[in-house]
Structure 1
């Protein structure tokens, strides 16, 4: 009898799919929504159903992007046996390509359903953001001009995990958009870029062999170190510009505290860490993103 698209050994199925979700990447989806929600709340706008829908849609798009990356990197032969990062479900044979493809379509489909509701709330600009987000999630690794293979990954992450996510959240709750909101969005975008830089720095050797021309592959490890410092530490000082634009939110400078772990992470990358250490750095950079979003959001509301 033919197996269903999602049939796996019952004891292993949940653990395998949870691994494929890549939970450590989810802060990149959640952090900008937290910031946008708190900025809207500070301006007197709040809606539980809209906020919940935004959070769920953001998480689903991130998971769908992870599934698409898992599938297309396997199809293109990028995920090899000598991969130093976490195990990819399709490449490891834990999930068939068909299962991963169908899971990708299912998750993006659920995100699209939520997008219909959010479009009803926010209009066609939100529909455009949703379509562009899903399309970019697929095109990050799919097709002959995949964003991640052309060195455009950081630009994609900066835009969609930064001003688009923060601004879109704020707009859905307030039906307006302001300059400080878009500037605030740059910080989670930069910190998400920092996560990507660590990933690309760790994978630079296998990416070079398989033709994945990330910025680290194109310009070398020295560039990668500088890029990591700029994205990680640059995000930390953005609140200074925001306080100049919105003097009533001086407590948002609490987020400057993230410069402390950021400095130690930058120094660690300059010591040429081994792949296992970089896997830990990947998680730690994500934790800085979470810490920043919490400190900034709390400070903004004080």
Structure 2
């Protein structure tokens, strides 16, 4: 008797689909904005001595959870405000397309915050309790980025807040928990990360410019207009590469960090992807390339710093 392959494979397919739905809720293409800064801050700390792996792992997981929760808050509040539909581009879509209850999404986001809070207690207990204040502020920004009566994402300050809190500050915290201090080098190296994380938000706002304008948002992309916003994106990409060059020339980072140039094709692809395209679905690859630029740039910068530690 032959087994019914169609029936036997259906539960597995549905199970895989279920996992995919929950995974998409976190908007995985944005999670590198949390991973890369932790790696960079830890790489910088290596020259000050051995790395506390437990603190590194706790910081990494907490940052990923906060970023994922922030994405879920975005999903929830945009749905509540009627901004997301099943045809919306660039969203997780778990509520409008996959039928996940809004309450489930918001509860899961707060659950992630709860786990991050526990990890934060471990980090503070092994470094400084002053970080508790910093961590709570970061979590508040994650919530109010799209939550509350005046969401940060609806203002011209979205790129600044996301770049500073998810770029620079994570690097500095990751460095501090390993070394007990914040040095000039860690601040200087965190600047391109801050810019590139902010550019992920700018690329999102360029893609959603028309829809955001209709819904009363006042993002940088709307205030500048699409053409100038793309010019700003390209200019910030160029600035980030020139900044690393300046760090090499001034002796702040080793010459190995020049390998960040290998990420330049992604930056070019991102910029070109916005030019001449007007539909959100057409510009989605450009936003993805922007996120990939941040990932590859930051990873290569960390690798260059690691090599510099071992070679010098």
What is the TM-score normalised by the length of structure 2?
Answer: 0.88
Alpha carbons of 1:245 and 1:113: their partners in 2 closer, same or farther (altered >3 Å)? farther
Whole-angstrom CA distance in 2 between matches of 1:94 and 1:231: 39
Match among 20, 23, 29 for residue 24 of structure 1? 29
Whole-angstrom CA distance in 2 between matches of 1:143 and 1:115: 24
Aligned to 1:187: 192
Tell me the CA shift for residue 234 of structure 1.
1.9
Whole-angstrom CA distance in 2 between matches of 1:45 and 1:69: 38
Aligned to 2:216: 211
Alpha carbons of 1:117 and 1:81: their partners in 2 closer, same or farther (altered >3 Å)? same
Structure index of larger Rg: 2
Aligned to 1:291: 296
Alpha carbons of 1:274 and 1:78: their partners in 2 closer, same or farther (altered >3 Å)? closer
Aligned to 1:111: 116
Alpha-carbon displacement from aligned partner over 1:113-141 (angstroms, at most 9, x marks no partner): 10111111221331122101110010001
Tell me the CA shift for residue 187 of structure 1.
1.3
1:79 aligned onto 2:111: no
5+ residue gaps in structure 2? 1-13
Aligned to 1:54: 59
Whole-angstrom CA distance in 2 between matches of 1:11 and 1:260: 33
Match among 142, 158, 162 for residue 167 of structure 2? 162
Tell me the CA shift for residue 14 of structure 1.
2.2
Q: Give the RMSD, CA atoms, in angstroms.
A: 2.0
Mapping for residues 9-158 of structure 1, pairs under 5 Å: 12-92=17-97, 94-158=99-163
Alpha-carbon displacement from aligned partner over 1:166-191 (angstroms, at most 9, x marks no partner): 11100000111111211211112211
What is the TM-score normalised by the length of structure 1?
Answer: 0.90
5+ residue gaps in structure 1? 1-8
Whole-angstrom CA distance in 2 between matches of 1:34 and 1:299: 12
Comparing 223-232 with 21-30, greater Cα deviation is found at 223-232
Aligned to 1:178: 183
Whole-angstrom CA distance in 1 between matches of 2:62 and 2:163: 18
Alpha carbons of 1:164 and 1:245: their partners in 2 closer, same or farther (altered >3 Å)? farther
Whole-angstrom CA distance in 2 between matches of 1:248 and 1:160: 23
Tell me the CA shift for residue 245 of structure 1.
4.3
**Does structure 2 conserve the Cα–Cα contact (< 8 Å) formed by 1:180 and 1:246?**
no
